[in-house]
Structure 1
Amino acid sequence: MAIQAIEITETETPLEETMSLNHSRLIYRLSILLSQYDARFDIMPELELELSAGRSKPDLSIFQNLSFNWKEDVLRYTEAPITAIEILSPTQAYDALTSKIWKIYFPSHVRSAWIVMPSIQTVQLFLPDQAVQNFTECMFTDPITDIKIDLRILFK
């Protein structure tokens, strides 16, 4: 009887995009600043979403208060957040983020999206069927959630 040798090789799965220092700091600072809205919203960092228009993982997602089942977890959440927040990292293309907003988030019924741009200390607000609004060194307000963020504190 002939013995057949089978070579077993390990395949590496690509690592998730490396998070920069500023990116990590902004996720933390936004989480702290958004915590004052905890009675109204659930703020979810890095939650995998399986939306009607595609898969995504915003840096932060804002949901109306959710119900949690601590005995059974969910790997990819299928309900659209009210707001998706993306932080532009040094390795990302701006067009990739705007494309995600227009092609995945808004068709899936996300009602507002933010792009936080650390290098120019700016937050852009995206609303369906409206021009993009830029906020720098001021009080940022999302009219969908009525969330207010002082950008001087965010970028201090």
Structure 2
Amino acid sequence: MEATVEQPIEYEDEKMSSLNHSELQSRLAFLFMSAYRQQYSIFTELDLEFASGKTRPDLCIFPKRQINWMTDEIIVHDVPLVTIEILSPEQSLNSLIERIYQKHFPAGVKTVWLIVPSLQIVSILLPNRQQLNFTEGLIADPETGLQLNLADIFEG
């Protein structure tokens, strides 16, 4: 019996990373893991495939999942509660927002945190196109209760 291997997902708008992008991705993973590790599972660069399409957010937050180190998933079909997208220098804001509303929300994602590093803004997007913008203080997700301090994310 021949084993089959799932092919990696190819994306039409593959983004290039950068130093600041990578730093933010690492910080966010650390901050969420430090505060919410008992309640949630936090993943970076996870390939997701939904009926609405394929996507690879910078971070995904799921209800706590039990990890089985004996088996692995190349492409995950479960829907995260939250996805986090960090705008890359070469990425179009419009195309990123379009992808969020065409792929993330139709799949059932509750909220998407959209981070614009150069402006030090975190926006929480909701499926009904409501948007909460944070430029200082405590970032509070109205759907999940997740909270982070903006100063911790963009600390010098």
Tell me which interval the TM-score lies in, with the shorter structure as reference length: 0.7 to 0.9
| CA displacement at 1:17 relative to structure 2 | 3.6
| Equivalence map 1:67-82=2 (5 Å) | 67-82=66-81
Output the amino acid matched with 1:55.
K
**Equivalent position SS for 1:27:** helix
Distance 1:130 1:48 in 2: 24
Map Cα deviations across residues 52-82 of structure 1 (whole Å, 9 max, x no partner). 2000000000000112221111000001100
| CA displacement at 1:130 relative to structure 2 | 4.2
| Equivalence map 1:6-155=2 (5 Å) | 17-35=15-33, 36-155=35-154
| CA displacement at 1:137 relative to structure 2 | 1.5
5+ residue gaps, structure 1, are: 1-12
| CA displacement at 1:144 relative to structure 2 | 1.7
**Equivalent position SS for 1:114:** strand
| CA displacement at 1:152 relative to structure 2 | 1.0
Given that residues 42 and 62 in structure 2 are in contact (C-alpha distance below 8 angstroms), is that contact kept between their aligned partners in structure 1?
yes
Counting matched residue pairs gives 143
Distance 1:139 1:84 in 2: 18
Distance 1:132 1:145 in 2: 15
After TM superposition, the score normalised by the length of structure 1 is 0.87
C-alpha RMSD of the superposition: 1.6
Distance 2:27 2:108 in 1: 26
| CA displacement at 1:129 relative to structure 2 | 1.1
Given that residues 16 and 88 in structure 2 are in contact (C-alpha distance below 8 angstroms), is that contact kept between their aligned partners in structure 1?
no
| CA displacement at 1:115 relative to structure 2 | 0.6
After TM superposition, the score normalised by the length of structure 2 is 0.87
Identity %: 38
Instruction: Please say which of residues 128-137 and 95-104 is displaced more in the overlay.
Output: 128-137
Instruction: Give the structure with higher Rg (CA).
Output: 1
Pair 130,95 (structure 1): closer, same or farther in 2 beyond 3 Å: closer
Output the amino acid matched with 1:24.
S
5+ residue gaps, structure 2, are: 1-9
